[in-house]
């Protein structure tokens, strides 16, 4: 006589499903991927593999001159090693400065970090080109001091580059957060990719040159950037 109504039962069922999806996604996100040199002939069921892109600086000696040509309006072709060398963060010239003594500045500290919502810290990206497909992988650190969370996982996306409006944009076909297939979660793919890509620093002259491109082609092992003919 005093049991829940059908509306309360349905609301409870919906919340149970949502909680189950969130917990399952969290488990898969922090489930480590398996890094290999090449994919096995018989992949293990439920295993997500990762092949890192080459970053041999000896094979990227011309990347600085190529980027200068590109910034000046010239067409270039970049191999995998050149892309990763260009994307690597600069090495600091000296040791990091010692933290200043005294009370923390307003708005700083773990509580402020948690309140700001900026608890995702993307690392340096890695690029791999294989069979005309571009893979972008980024290590991400998740830190939320209020609950003692401090974990890392790998985001890896595979897709192509296509023109959208007046510019060329990376269009992923699959995105994995750790071992979680993010493309199966509505709206999650776009949010994560925007968060990661917006955190990467691109020199203004290269960003401006990218906006003038006439064509972008993913070759079997290289990226071809074509400028308009004069």
Domain spans of the chain, in order of start: 31-88+111-226
The Cα–Cα gap between 208 and 58 comes to: 28
Helix, coil or strand: residue 184: helix
d(C-alpha 79, C-alpha 60), whole Å: 8
Which two three-digit tokens encode residue 95? 């040791």
Q: What is the pLDDT of residues 52-86, one digit of tens each?
A: 999 998 999 999 999 999 999 999 999 999 999 99
32 pLDDT more than 70: yes
CA 230 – CA 224 distance, rounded (Å): 18
pLDDT of residue 227: 95
**What is residue 90's predicted lDDT score, i.e. its pLDDT?**
57
Average pLDDT, stretch 147-164?
Answer: 87
The yes-or-no verdict on residue 93 having pLDDT over 50 is: no
Among the listed residues 45, 47, 79, 17, the one whose alpha carbon sits nearest the alpha carbon of residue 222: 79
The stretch 111-139 carries a mean pLDDT of 77
- What pLDDT score was predicted for residue 30? 77
- Following DSSP, what letter does each residue of 79-92 receive, concatenated? EHHHHHHHHSPPPP
pLDDT(157) > 90: yes
| Mean pLDDT computed over every residue of the chain | 82
pLDDT value at 118 more than 70 = no
Residue 225 has pLDDT above 50, yes or no: yes
Higher-pLDDT residue of 5, 124: 124
Residue 104 has pLDDT above 50, yes or no: no
pLDDT at 98: 44
């Amino acid at each position: 006589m005093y049991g829940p109504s059908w509306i309360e039962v349905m609301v409870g069922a919906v919340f149970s499903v949502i909680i189950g999806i969130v917990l399952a996604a969290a488990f898969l996100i922090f489930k480590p991927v398996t890094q290999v040199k090449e994919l096995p002939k018989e992949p293990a069921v439920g295993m997500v593999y990762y092949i890192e892109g080459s970053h041999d600086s000896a094979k990227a000696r011309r990347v600085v001159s190529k980027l200068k040509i590109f910034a000046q309006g010239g067409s270039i072709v970049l191999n995998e090693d050149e892309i990763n060398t260009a994307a690597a963060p600069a090495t600091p010239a000296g040791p990091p400065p010692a933290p200043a003594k005294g009370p923390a500045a307003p708005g700083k500290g773990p509580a402020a970090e948690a309140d700001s919502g900026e608890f995702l810290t993307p690392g340096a990206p890695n690029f791999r080109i294989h069979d005309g497909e571009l893979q972008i992988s980024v290590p991400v650190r998740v830190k939320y001091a209020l609950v003692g969370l401090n974990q890392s996982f790998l985001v890896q996306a595979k897709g192509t580059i296509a023109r959208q409006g007046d510019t060329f944009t990376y269009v992923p076909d699959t995105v994995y957060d750790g071992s979680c297939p993010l493309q199966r979660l509505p709206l999650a793919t776009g949010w994560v990719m925007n968060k990661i890509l917006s955190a990467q620093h691109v020199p203004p002259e290269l960003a401006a040159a990218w906006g003038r491109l006439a064509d972008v082609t993913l070759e079997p092992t290289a990226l071809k950037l074509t400028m308009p003919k004069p």
